[in-house]
Amino acid sequence: MLQVITGVLLSIHYVFYTELAFKSLIHIRRDVNWGWALHNIHISDASIFILLIYIHIARGIFYSSFNIAKIWDTGIIIFILAIVAAFIGYVLPWGQIRYWGTTIITNIFSAIPYLGREPVKWLWGRFTVANPTLNQFFIIHFILPFSMLLLINFHLIFFHSWGSNNPLDINSNSDRISFHQYFRTKDIIGFYYILQSSY
């Protein structure tokens, strides 16, 4: 939610035009009240979010959670969308490095058999990386977090329907502990330390 809130606030001042994108970020960081803080929170929390997803996936692999297909599948889709959103977010402060990064990464899609360069042209919006590419990437970067929030809700619904795996493989309801007191306290303490590390 912090990523969505800071992203929406940053998008108010961001200009998705190749000649003005970097200047708009400088404007956000220097001229907008607390713009530097919003930008830093958005960047650092994105890295923390990806790190937490990796830890979450490692836990799922350790506990064999991949056996619960619907939970695992929605989680992997959330992970892929997070990686795509992170790459597109990296491209938005437009410059030479971002231009060539976009060109190289999107050219990977030209290796799809039978389709050739058509997916790349579609991603670019024309025959080369230019302003339509940045426009599309900004729109995708803006929409992806809301799609991820929807998928996270499905992920949680499936999780509460089927339950999770645990190191002792306990499945009886009498041996389980409630979420409210124990796990919620652990989560609040964890979120506190994560927020402290992002400042």
Per residue in 6-18, pLDDT tens? 999 999 999 999 9
Separation CA 6–CA 199 (nearest Å): 14
Q: What are phi and psi of 53, to 5 degrees?
A: -65, -40
Per residue in 79-118, pLDDT tens? 999 999 999 999 999 989 999 999 999 999 888 888 878 8
User: How many other CB atoms are found less than 10 A from the CB of residue 182?
Assistant: 10
CA angle, residues 76, 191, 197, in degrees to nearest 5: 100
Selecting from 1.10.3720.10, 1.20.810.10, 1.10.10.10, 3.30.450.70, what CATH number does the domain 2-166+175-197 have?
A: 1.20.810.10
User: How many other CB atoms are found less than 10 A from the CB of residue 131?
Assistant: 15
> Is the pLDDT score of 176 beyond 80?
no
Between 131 and 159, the more confident residue is 131
Ordered DSSP codes for 40-97: HHHHHHHHHHHHHHHHHHHHHHHTTGGGSHHHHHHHHHHHHHHHHHHHHHHHSS-SHH
**What pLDDT does residue 187 have?**
82
| pTM for the full predicted model | 0.83
**What pLDDT does residue 116 have?**
79
Amino acid at 129: V
Across the chain, what does the average pLDDT equal?
88
**Is the CB of residue 87 less than 8 Å from the CB of residue 123?**
no
User: How many other CB atoms are found less than 10 A from the CB of residue 124?
Assistant: 20
CA angle, residues 176, 182, 184, in degrees to nearest 5: 120
The residue among 115, 87, 111 whose CA lies nearest residue 101 is 87
Separation CA 18–CA 100 (nearest Å): 13
**What pLDDT does residue 152 have?**
93
Ordered alpha helix ranges (H), 92-115: 96-107
* CA distance to 11, 17, 197, per residue, from 45 (Å): 16, 25, 9
**What pLDDT does residue 104 have?**
92
Between 172 and 25, the more confident residue is 25
Per residue in 21-73, pLDDT tens? 999 999 999 999 999 999 999 999 999 999 999 999 998 898 888 888 899 99
Q: Which residue bears the tokens 């302003």?
A: 131
